[in-house]
Amino acid sequence: MDSTRQNKISRLIQKELGDIFVRLGKETRGVMVSVSVVRVSPDLSIAKAYLSVFPSERGNEVVEHLTQNSKSIRFELGNRLRHQLRIIPDIRFYIDDSLDYIEHIDNLLKD
């Protein structure tokens, strides 16, 4: 069960990461990345960002690239949130495959 503070910080980080990815999206043609959900640990030291990537075949490639550049993304996030948060959490990126799973289940039900 997440606290109210965790939920507020999660939403704030999700919004800012989305803005950062829009800026980065101009550099990577043909890939669209959106932040599905962000979950923050109770001590606010780690943020797990679940990303939805289109096309989904390039999801692992995008997550690897973002993981390698997580320090620069965290720095930019820190510059944006420096007046709102005392500590900027470490960011871990994961693929949100819930849409692919739903599509798979839908295809199974049609058959």
- Domain harbouring 30, CATH code: 3.30.300.20
For tokens 């950062």, what's the residue? 20
- Model's pTM, two decimal places? 0.83
Strands 46-54 and 90-95: parallel
Q: Amino acid identity, residue 85? A: L
The three-point CA angle 21-69-46 to 5° equals 85
The answer to whether residues 33 and 93 touch, using CB atoms and an 8 Å cutoff, is no
Share of the chain above pLDDT 90, in %: 49
Q: Amino acid identity, residue 15? A: K
> Where residue 100 falls among pLDDT bands split at 50, 70, 90?
confident
The tally of domains found in the chain comes to: 1
Range of the domain at 30: 4-110
Tens digit of each residue's pLDDT (9 = 90 or more) over 23-37: 877 766 778 888 999
C-alpha span between 31 and 59 (Å, rounded): 9
CA-closest candidate to residue 65, choices 39, 37, 28, 10 = 28
